[in-house]
Amino acid sequence: MTRFLHVLMFAILLSYTAWADIFKEAAMCVTVAENTQHGPFRICASSYLAPQGKNLYGPDMAMDYNEKTAWVEGVQGSGEGQWLALGFDGERHFQSLFIVNGYIKSKKAFRDNGRVQILRVQAADGLDIRIELKDHMKEQEIRFPRKVVSPWLRLGIVSTYPGGRWSDAAITDFWIDLDEYNYQGIDGE
């Protein structure tokens, strides 16, 4: 084998090993096998708030495109250090992330719960950036400084805007903008 192939195989092994480590740290993972633009994927969270009545707060609530649901971290305090992670069945190319910060099912829910102020975004290809999110109920786009190529993406809470009633931080929804390359064959067909 050529040196290039050895290096490539090592890089792929490292990226999948890092993803396996994320699985070990997760409090909950949900596999989404439906036909999505991402193909089958897994969403995991470091923690989540226990269900309250009919309200569920697991990691899949942050990718259901429903403004009445949210992932809410479940540790004591403001949630700093908690995270969500996506894992795919292979490398994906993405350029940006869209996020709806806080719990937007109502203005009261938004004010009562904490929101992410500084978000850390990491990927297997070395991306590690921090972004300040706006404290509003609208969708926000985060453009990455370069194209990201990775089998996983991790979003971590660095700091929060405090909630008026609860300290838990929430994310209503997020999704990634996959590059057109993901829909083409290797030779561009």
In this model, does residue 160 exceed pLDDT 90? yes
CA proximity to 82, closest of 160, 172, 177:
160
Q: Which of the two residues, 31 and 159, has the higher pLDDT score?
A: 159
In this model, does residue 7 exceed pLDDT 60? no
What is the structure's pLDDT at 140?
97
Record the pTM.
Answer: 0.82
Options 3.40.640.10, 3.65.10.10, 2.60.120.260, 2.40.50.140; CATH for 3-183 is: 2.60.120.260
What are the b/e assignments for 21-48, b being 16+ CB within 10 Å? ebeeebebbeebeeeeebeebbbbbbbb
Instruction: Give residue for tokens 């064959």.
Output: 185
Q: Which of the two residues, 173 and 32, has the higher pLDDT score?
A: 173
In this model, does residue 178 exceed pLDDT 60? yes
pLDDT band at 45 (very low <50, low <70, confident <90, very high): very high
What is the structure's pLDDT at 179?
63
Q: Which of the two residues, 143 and 188, has the higher pLDDT score?
A: 143
Rounded Cα distance between 113 and 106, Å, is 11
As a whole number, mean pLDDT of residues 123-140 equals 97
Contact 110, 137 (CB under 8 A): yes
25 phi and psi angles, rounded to 5 deg: -85, -15
Rounded Cα distance between 25 and 81, Å, is 12
Residues 6+ apart with CB under 8 A from 67: 100, 104, 105, 172, 173
**What are the distances in angstroms from CA 119 to CA 38, 86, 136, 181?**
22, 15, 15, 26
Rounded Cα distance between 64 and 36, Å, is 12
Average pLDDT over the chain, rounded to an integer:
84
What is the structure's pLDDT at 41?
83
